[in-house]
Structure 1
Amino acid sequence: METNVSTVRSSAAAAEPFSTVPIFGVEFSKMGMNETVRYLTDVIERRQPTQVITANPIMVMSALENPAYMNMMQQADLIVPDGAGVVWAAGYVGEPVAERVPGFDLMHRLLREGESRGWSAYLLGTTQEVIEEAARNLQAKFPGIRIAGVRDGFFGASEDEEVVAAIRAAAPDMLFVARSADKQEPWLARYKHELGVPLLMGVGGSFDIIAGKLKRAPVVFQKLRLEWFYRLLQQPSRYKRMLVLPKFAVKVMREKENVTKRTPKP
């Protein structure tokens, strides 16, 4: 079923379908935070492996440049509008999403939901020191959650089998991964079914914030949709990646009629 350029997407993992809007071939959920949490709660309870991508304009542009990355994005079960630029783009073309759904907040909401349901979580990524500190802080904040395991994200393809086996043995309800953007989503997509985890989600720099290594943008920056700028102030080395943001905005304005054009899925 299609309504304008929106579509209603369903998954074997959940009873309720959800509406999406494509941004240059990447299907973004139109659900707000509360609806997303309800949807994923059902997913986890059903124990159907589901990959969630919290996407931003940089990832959309990467998908346009890399067919393999686009294919991976199109195979994801749920893509939420993490980046403010995505929210703006959807509104600009007349197909607004309910709101921005930041991955950092979504992870915390799911952990809070899991406290009363006896869920467990596995944390993978960043350095061993940071991931262990993040685990301690999350355990203190969400005592009802069981941390099923932790591991740093510095491993190569030769160690994938070992890492997958360890996660599978831990049998968590949720797997949160913090590796570089070009690694975490493709890695989760590749091993989604082997891992056997109901919820698989990349969380970028969230563990650095949780561990106290970085500070999250103040609320005023979040409300002004300038969280990306605050992070740039803390990590100036990210400036090259940030140059993609104005390119994305210009592309949306120049190609407004084609922004929501659907591309065939493989």
Structure 2
Amino acid sequence: MKRVEILGVPIDAVTMHEALKYALAFLDDGEKHHIATPNNEMLLVAQKNSAFKAVLQTSALNIPDSTGLLWAAKRKGQVLPERVTGVDFTEKLCRRLSKDQSVFFLGGYKGAGKKAAEALQKINPNLTVAGTYEGSPSSSDAPEIITRINDSETKILLVAYGAPAQELWINQYLMNLVSVRVAIGVGGTFDFLSGRIKRAPKCMQRCGLEWLWRLFQQPTRIGRMWNAVVVFPLQVLLSK
């Protein structure tokens, strides 16, 4: 698998089809795998959070969840073939799962995980939802969460605590999750799948303007958008 290093973080040069192929293969190889969905903002956070950066450097698969990463790769004379968003990746993966490949939804905002699970079951009636639980990334919640996940005997764990909390949580506790084969940090995916937040029109997604759509819906994200759209490109340009 070819990887492109951007600001010290390896990004896998995969298409959506290839990313799904790897994820499904991970379910059958008997190992435990962490899949991350890095974007511009996450790479900036990783510059100041060494623990988070170390997790991204060792995860099994880092799919490129922003057009900014494709641009950054091109600046280095390398290629990331396409943007693979966490939302689309999660939906397409759940479309392909059989009944014995169950999914546990951890995190999300005010029941978004449960609603996301219900929405995905409408798309794939064969999808087995092992459980949903909001919980929190706090270490005090970990014993309860681990017990729930282990009791569910799930194969796939989707964690929606936002970065870097979700990646750090997966890295710390994945080995305690007996049946889990694939754990994915999915950020705001539950919000989109549940319909709590509407996705940008396809034309804006194709043009890399999904950030602008989100800003219209969530003006409080302006600081995060500034980092993703202005600070990230500057750091890439200034990096060796």
When normalised by structure 1's length, the TM-score is 0.85
2:93 matches 1:110: yes
- Give 1:57's aligned amino acid: N
2:227 matches 1:251: no
- Give 1:252's aligned amino acid: V
Partner of 1:229: 212
The Cα shift of 1:108 comes to 1.2
> C-alpha distance in 2, partners of 1:155/1:76?
19
State whether residues 82 and 103 of structure 1, in contact with CA within 8 Å, keep that contact through their aligned partners in structure 2: yes
The Cα shift of 1:158 comes to 1.0
> C-alpha distance in 2, partners of 1:229/1:185?
25
% same residue? 33
- Give 1:150's aligned amino acid: T
Structure 1: gaps spanning 5 or more residues: 1-17, 259-266
> C-alpha distance in 1, partners of 2:136/2:54?
25
Secondary structure in 2 matching 1:242: helix
1:35 to 18, 25, 33: 18
Partner of 1:143: 125
> C-alpha distance in 1, partners of 2:67/2:81?
12
Pairwise mapping of residues 122-161 of structure 1 onto structure 2 (< 5 A)? 122-154=104-136, 156-161=138-143
Change (3 A) 1:47 1:172: farther
> C-alpha distance in 2, partners of 1:155/1:75?
20
- Give 2:152's aligned amino acid: A
Change (3 A) 1:41 1:23: same
The Cα shift of 1:162 comes to 1.3
The Cα shift of 1:155 comes to 5.8
The Cα shift of 1:93 comes to 1.2
Q: CA RMSD in A?
A: 1.4
Instruction: Give CA-to-partner distance per residue, 1:46-105, whole Å, 9 cap, x none.
Output: 232100000011111111112122112112111111011111100121111111111111
State whether residues 80 and 101 of structure 1, in contact with CA within 8 Å, keep that contact through their aligned partners in structure 2: yes
State whether residues 126 and 154 of structure 1, in contact with CA within 8 Å, keep that contact through their aligned partners in structure 2: no
Structure 2: gaps spanning 5 or more residues: none
The Cα shift of 1:128 comes to 4.4
State whether residues 37 and 63 of structure 2, in contact with CA within 8 Å, keep that contact through their aligned partners in structure 1: yes
Structure number with greater Rg is: 1
1:181 to 153, 163, 166: 163
Partner of 2:72: 89
- Give 1:216's aligned amino acid: R
> C-alpha distance in 2, partners of 1:168/1:61?
34
